[in-house]
Amino acid sequence: MFYKRKDRFSIRKFKIGVGSVFLGSFLLASPQVFAHKGEYVERLAEFSSTSVDSESDKDIVKLPDAVQVTKTITFEDFKKMTLEDIKALTVEDFEVLKLTDEDIASLSPERQKALTTSKTFQSFNRKDLSLPEGFSFRDGATISGLNTLNGSYGWTSREGNDVNVAMGGATIERLEIVNGLVNVRVKFNGSHDNWKTPFYYVTIPKGLEVTNIDFGSKDGNLYNYSSETDWAENRSDHVGNEKRNTRVYSRNGNGGNASNIGNRTDRNFNERWIDLIGWHIDNSRNTTQNERNIWRNIRDRTYGILSFETEQDSKEYYLNYSARVKPGFTVNSVNDLAIAAGLKSNQVPATSNQNYARAFLKPYVPSSNPSPTPSPSTPSSQPVNVGKADNIVVWTNTSTDSDIVIARPTGNIPKIYLAENERKHLQAGFPADAIVDTGINDDGYFVLKAGSLFKTDKVNTPMYTKVVKASNIPISEGDGLGVSNPFVISGVYAPDNMTLEYDKEKVEKFEVSDDIVKHITFPRNAYVSGNNISASLEEVYNKNGEKIDNPQIKNLRGNGILLKYLLTIESDEENNRFVSGVSKYVYVTLNLIDKEKAKKEIDDAKKAKDEQIDANTQLTDEEKTTAKAETEKAANKAKDAIEKAKNQSEIDTPKQTGISEIAAQGTPTKKPSAVEEINRVKAEKEAEINASSLTEEEKNVAKRKITTASTNAINAINNAITDSAVDTAKQNGIESLKVATIYVGEPKDVYFWSNTSFSKDVEIATTTGEFSDIYVADPGYRTSWNLTTSGIVLNWGVNDEKKFVVKQGTKLLDPRTDTLVWTKYVKVPDPKNDSIHSYGLFITGDDFKFYGAYLPEAITLNRPYSSGNEDNDDLVIAEVMKKIKFPNFTIKTVGKDSNGNPNRRSLGTEENKELLQKYKFIAEEYQGTDASVDNIGLFKGKGNTIRFKAITPSGLEKEVIVTLNYLDKETAVQALAEKQQEVNTEIDANANLSLEEKEKAKEKVRVAIDTAIKAIEAATDENRINAAKSAGLKAIELEKERAEAVGVIERAKAAKDTAIDEKFNNKELTETERDDAKKAAKQAADTAKEAIDAATNVEGVNTAKTEGLPKVNAEVNGAIKSNAKQDIDTAAEKAKEAIDNSDLPEDVKTKSKRRSRESQRSR
């Protein structure tokens, strides 16, 4: 969201001119905001922007002559100018005008804005600013070997310590104090190096508050910011590769995970300082202690860091800022200021992993006549008092978010340390993973700075006893100027996350706060306790992670509520035993029990289970009633326990138990028990069958009957509703399994050759048991099958192996030589009544069929091959199969209907294919045209025979003689080859064709031959062979005619070229006319040959030749002959005219004119 604002301006006078103050603020983006404790930044922008390019004056727009401002311009003239006129004024115009604060204040707001946004007015305000006298930047100096803290220095990592290289990264071009304002101008990347996402920065000295920031690139845009906060928060107003991700790192910022200005949480001030270049200098093997002091001198005198990033580029950037001196601080000259500017980046190309850091350093420069510093043995001119050190308390494992004052020293203390209690050590010793940052703050107090961190794996926290020491010499050489009393650094441990549960549906805020304190572990000393911890509720989130606005703890319900608390260790101001004030965030998961919800889950589970029980067909009515009574009992038991629960665990346990007990109900037992009994009896009967003397096939038939009976019984049990109905179905099933066994096996279909005697017995069915006779009956079941057709021989019965068979010699006739199907049944008569008219003791469960297939004894096949080499037995058998009239396999009987008649269905396609594949053919003898051979590959010509044995699926055999006649393709191919040789000889003898044209013609003959041979090879009879041969001969003849026609055209074209050359030699044609004539003759010849090539028959070839020759032989006359002819014609006309005008007789005139014409034609 953008906020409305009203722009206001005021005017201030500076030492070098007048500048405008632009009051107001604006927000371009709203980054994530965190609490920022103990910091207030006044947002007053003193808009005194400097030009980012010294050459920007070149872009000044001159006024028109009518309003051109002269060197004598007055303020009255100025007030009459338009806004465009004001923007067009030059720096020289403003020097002549000499506007005062009062002048500008009297202008309208529109004119004030036009004035203060004018680049030339900004340049005028900054013109001729220079460094104070006696101050200069060193050019080419290096940090190495310097022992004094004056001048300016360069440092560059990875590329040596050359200040010129450092200045290529950043250069402080301007540093001055004007009218109490400190002005700083920095040029970045003046060498235009190509950096990979560089991070640029410039520091802000202690005691300064930034009031204006100008930023831009040498050839880009200019931006203005009213304060550090404005700079840091407006990070998206850039074009192209210019500024992005601006930040401000300040000492007042909260360290660790808290924010600096601009709400950046990536690093605090100390971490960023070390990351930029501090680690290079502090850890370099090439720097001495005194050299490192130059860098530390700047660090100790720095308040904050302004930074920005860019995309990969090689642009030159400028940053100018103005700052006022804070109350309580004094800056007499730029010597009192310490500043660093630089960059950190990887270098291009992107494959480079080298990290580069460059910095330009301007340290604090002491006064030229400093007061003598007292030594430990010489009393100081000003008393040094370290002050009483206070015990301090911090959070362990959490960075401090604010400074903690340890002592309040007085006097001129050049250096201060935190030391061990023994007072002899250089600096206090802490664990390696501790971050201890101490120093003197802006108020002169010795503090533990924000960002310090004391880690421990012991929740009762370690204790450190330290002292504060002041010194003007290395601390290891003495006790220093002042030593504080021993004080204790203590840690309080609070987990980052905790869970609180309450055995009630709502809780008060104070209860939560008190219970949070109970989770905190305090140090072993007694002076800090829960009374010193304040807890502030910052944010609340529901279990879905959604933030709850304006929450009241007493209104929260349910589990998984996340509370974000800010815990602060308050200083013990009452007893003055310690100081603190540091804070940390703790996340509390709040669980409030909900008994009604748990009860509803129980009721829902019971309802769902009862519905499942009612829908379960495996349960009898009695079992359903019992199961629903048990779910009611389990639900009541669980709800009673939930009502008595005091915490969530006591709710969850009975709830889960209740749901499990409800889910366990409704298991059927009656029907499964009955089915188990049926399966037991079935297993007993199968054991009896396996122990009998039946064949495996007979056993399988008997087992199938038992399986059918048991399946019927189980279906009856499953369909029963009550317990008694289940018992009845079970008993009936057991009885059905105990029926005495007399078996007639499932009958097999009989496949035979019609009109051919059976070559062997064919088994129909297996029989077992004692019975008097066996019959084959019609599908009506009541009559025996009697065939009276003349010539049929039918003989069946039970053989010695008790197999029911159709015996060898049976012959079933089919006078139609067509398909034959008979459907029959096997019947065993009842011993009490031998009449077949009764149903009999047993009838087979399915009918069976007699399938008759008709196959001639002799078959003749004309083969589509030149010999048996291309043929094989399988191909012949496939053709023989086509000669068989197969029975109708499409009818299959499946059981019987309610009237005892068979149900029928059609065989599927795959069933038919499978059945046909069971007919077998075996080649037994090969007889060639002249003699017997041993394989079909030796057959040639006509009259070859193969004697096959044809076998039905029932194993019945029949002999078939197949005669094979092969086609004569070789003669046709030979005729084509001879014709090809004849034509090629004629083409080679054609003197009118070039070698290339001869080859082309012969290639066409070859293509025609190949096409004809392929057609002959594909032919399947004599007619197709002859047709392919004739077509090939015709195609060859066409190519011969085509070649001869091309030769004629070529001969004509050659003759034409000779005639043209003769005319040229006789001066009848110019050289150009000769060439054009030959070109026309060639074009006519090419066109004729293309037409000949495109012709599809001999007639077309002749037509193209006939039409092309005149065009090739067309008359050619040149300009020379044409001119001569013109002269003759003219002379002839004059002679005719003279004859007509003469006095000669008419007949003489006529003869004279005729002779003149003849003479004219002869020329």
pLDDT in tens, 281-326: 666 655 666 666 777 778 888 888 888 888 777 788 888 898 988 8
Alpha carbon distances (Å) from 841 to 82, 706, 827, 896? 130, 18, 8, 18
Q: Is 70 exceeded by the pLDDT of residue 685?
A: yes
Same domain, 1094 and 1043: yes
pLDDT confidence of 257, banded at 50, 70, 90?
A: very low
Q: Is 80 exceeded by the pLDDT of residue 154?
A: no
Same domain, 581 and 691: no
Find the helix packing angle between 670-691 and 723-737, rounded to 10°. Answer: 0
- What tens digit of pLDDT does each residue of 946-1002 get? 999 999 999 999 999 999 988 888 888 888 898 889 888 888 888 888 888 888 888
Please answer whether residues 172 and 360 qualify as being in contact, where contact means their C-beta atoms are separated by less than 8 angstroms. yes
Lookup: tokens for 212:
């204006």
Residue that has been written with the tokens 């390696």 in this structure: 432
Instruction: State residue 370's pLDDT score.
Output: 41
Q: Is 50 exceeded by the pLDDT of residue 175?
A: yes
Final residue before a domain boundary, out of 965, 997, 1021:
965
pLDDT, average across residues 125-139: 34
Strand order in the sheet with 743-744: 743-744, 762-768, 803-806, 796-798
Instruction: State residue 739's pLDDT score.
Output: 47
Same domain, 25 and 117: yes
Bridge partners for 417 per DSSP:
469
Instruction: State residue 891's pLDDT score.
Output: 63
- What's the burial of 160, exposed, middle or buried (CB within 10 Å: 0-12/13-18/19+)? exposed
Instruction: State residue 913's pLDDT score.
Output: 77
Question: What helix, strand, coil percent values describe the chain, rounded to 5?
Answer: 35, 25, 40
Percentage of the chain with pLDDT > 90? 14
Q: Which of 222-231, 641-650, 812-821, 966-975 has the lowest mean pLDDT?
A: 812-821
pLDDT confidence of 772, banded at 50, 70, 90?
A: low
Q: Quick one: CA torsion of 204, 205, 211, 216, rounded to 10 degrees?
A: -30
Q: Please give the single-letter amino acid code of residue 832.
A: K
Q: Of how many residues is the chain composed? A: 1163
Find the helix packing angle between 670-691 and 696-719, rounded to 10°. Answer: 170
- What tens digit of pLDDT does each residue of 4-41 get? 333 333 333 333 333 333 332 222 222 232 223 222 22
Q: Which residue has the higher pLDDT, 1146 or 1052?
A: 1052
Please answer whether residues 606 and 632 qualify as being in contact, where contact means their C-beta atoms are separated by less than 8 angstroms. yes
Would you call 101 helix, strand, or coil by DSSP? helix
| H runs (alpha helix) in 456-589 | 509-518
Bridge partners for 502 per DSSP:
592
Q: Which residue has the higher pLDDT, 465 or 1110?
A: 1110
Backbone angles phi, psi at 521, to 5 degrees: -105, 125
Alpha carbon distances (Å) from 823 to 439, 749, 1122? 115, 9, 108
94: part of which helix (H) or strand (E)?
A: helix 91-97
Instruction: State residue 967's pLDDT score.
Output: 83
Residue 421 within any structural domain of the chain: yes
Distance between CA atoms of residues 267 and 273, nearest Å: 9
Q: Which of 55-69, 156-170, 246-260, 601-615 has the lowest mean pLDDT?
A: 55-69
Q: Which of 171-175, 496-500, 1069-1073 has the lowest mean pLDDT?
A: 171-175
Q: Which residue has the higher pLDDT, 1091 or 841?
A: 1091
Backbone angles phi, psi at 871, to 5 degrees: -110, 170
Distance between CA atoms of residues 506 and 501, nearest Å: 11
Q: Which residue has the higher pLDDT, 262 or 792?
A: 792
Residue 373 within any structural domain of the chain: no
Please answer whether residues 210 and 322 qualify as being in contact, where contact means their C-beta atoms are separated by less than 8 angstroms. yes
Q: Please give the single-letter amino acid code of residue 224.
A: N
Distance between CA atoms of residues 1058 and 1048, nearest Å: 16
Alpha carbon distances (Å) from 286 to 149, 289, 341? 18, 10, 21
Q: Is 60 exceeded by the pLDDT of residue 1122?
A: no
Q: b/e map of 840-864 (b: 16 or more CB within 10 Å)?
A: bbbbbbebbbbbbbbbeeebebebb
Residue 975 within any structural domain of the chain: yes
Q: Is 50 exceeded by the pLDDT of residue 361?
A: yes
Instruction: State residue 658's pLDDT score.
Output: 92
DSSP secondary structure code for residue 458 in this structure:
-
**Number of structural domains in the chain:** 9
Alpha carbon distances (Å) from 734 to 502, 672, 1027, 1052? 64, 15, 80, 112
Q: Which residue has the higher pLDDT, 391 or 1122?
A: 391
DSSP structure string for 378-422 = S--SS--B--PPPPEEEETTS--SS-EEEE--BS--SEEEEEETT
Q: Quick one: CA torsion of 626, 628, 632, 637, rounded to 10 degrees?
A: 60
Same domain, 730 and 840: no
Instruction: State residue 149's pLDDT score.
Output: 32
Bridge partners for 584 per DSSP:
567
Instruction: State residue 896's pLDDT score.
Output: 62
Bridge partners for 192 per DSSP:
none
Distance between CA atoms of residues 550 and 558, nearest Å: 18
Highest-confidence range of 113-117, 492-496, 745-749, by mean pLDDT? 492-496
Instruction: State residue 626's pLDDT score.
Output: 92
17: part of which helix (H) or strand (E)?
A: strand 17-23
pLDDT confidence of 652, banded at 50, 70, 90?
A: confident
What CATH number should be reported for the domain holding residue 164? 2.60.40
Q: Is 70 exceeded by the pLDDT of residue 747?
A: yes
pLDDT, average across residues 752-767: 87
- CA–chain centroid gap for 1017, Å, is 56
Sequence-ordered list of residues with C-beta below 8 angstroms from that of 481, at least 6 positions apart, any chain: 374, 376, 380, 384, 411, 413, 470, 471, 472
- What's the burial of 122, exposed, middle or buried (CB within 10 Å: 0-12/13-18/19+)? buried
pLDDT confidence of 703, banded at 50, 70, 90?
A: confident
Residue 45 within any structural domain of the chain: yes
Q: Is 80 exceeded by the pLDDT of residue 900?
A: no
∠ CA(475), CA(481), CA(486), 5° rounding?
A: 80
- What tens digit of pLDDT does each residue of 509-537 get? 888 888 899 999 888 776 888 889 999 99
Q: Is 90 exceeded by the pLDDT of residue 477?
A: no
Q: Is 80 exceeded by the pLDDT of residue 549?
A: yes
Distance between CA atoms of residues 1002 and 731, nearest Å: 97
Distance between CA atoms of residues 100 and 93, nearest Å: 14
Q: Using CA of residue 990, residue 994, residue 999, residue 1002, what is the dihedral sign?
A: negative
Q: Which of 99-108, 384-393, 448-457 has the lowest mean pLDDT?
A: 99-108
- What's the burial of 759, exposed, middle or buried (CB within 10 Å: 0-12/13-18/19+)? middle
Distance between CA atoms of residues 143 and 158, nearest Å: 14
Lookup: tokens for 567:
């815990």
Same domain, 1075 and 1012: yes
- What tens digit of pLDDT does each residue of 1015-1072 get? 988 888 888 888 988 988 988 888 888 888 888 888 888 888 898 998 889 888 888 9
Percentage of the chain with pLDDT > 70? 70
Instruction: State residue 102's pLDDT score.
Output: 67
Instruction: State residue 502's pLDDT score.
Output: 81
Distance between CA atoms of residues 157 and 159, nearest Å: 6
Please answer whether residues 733 and 707 qualify as being in contact, where contact means their C-beta atoms are separated by less than 8 angstroms. no
Omega of the bond prior to 349 within 30 degrees of 0, cis?
Answer: yes
Same domain, 863 and 1005: no
Same domain, 884 and 1025: no
Q: Which of 64-73, 198-207, 1077-1086, 1126-1135 has the lowest mean pLDDT?
A: 64-73
Same domain, 87 and 173: no
Alpha carbon distances (Å) from 414 to 373, 474, 659? 9, 11, 76
Instruction: State residue 67's pLDDT score.
Output: 33
Alpha carbon distances (Å) from 729 to 736, 738, 810? 11, 15, 49
DSSP secondary structure code for residue 694 in this structure:
-
Same domain, 1110 and 1126: no
Q: Which residue has the higher pLDDT, 331 or 822?
A: 331
Residue 572 within any structural domain of the chain: yes
Same domain, 868 and 1013: no
Q: Is 50 exceeded by the pLDDT of residue 129?
A: no
Please answer whether residues 670 and 620 qualify as being in contact, where contact means their C-beta atoms are separated by less than 8 angstroms. yes
Same domain, 771 and 874: no
For 55, what's the count of Cα atoms within 13 Å in the CB-facing half-sphere? 3
Residue 231 within any structural domain of the chain: yes
Bridge partners for 963 per DSSP:
860, 945
Residue 131 within any structural domain of the chain: no
Sequence-ordered list of residues with C-beta below 8 angstroms from that of 867, at least 6 positions apart, any chain: 937, 939, 940, 966
pLDDT, average across residues 437-465: 81
Instruction: State residue 66's pLDDT score.
Output: 32
Distance between CA atoms of residues 1037 and 976, nearest Å: 11
Within 10 angstroms of residue 441's Cβ, the number of other Cβ atoms is 14
Same domain, 643 and 716: no
∠ CA(83), CA(86), CA(90), 5° rounding?
A: 155
* 492: nearest Cα among 567, 388, 429, 587: 567
Alpha carbon distances (Å) from 218 to 52, 192, 242? 6, 11, 11
Residue 700 within any structural domain of the chain: no
Mean pLDDT value across the chain = 75
pLDDT confidence of 278, banded at 50, 70, 90?
A: low
Instruction: State residue 1140's pLDDT score.
Output: 78
pLDDT confidence of 144, banded at 50, 70, 90?
A: very low
Domain interval for residue 684: 677-695+706-737
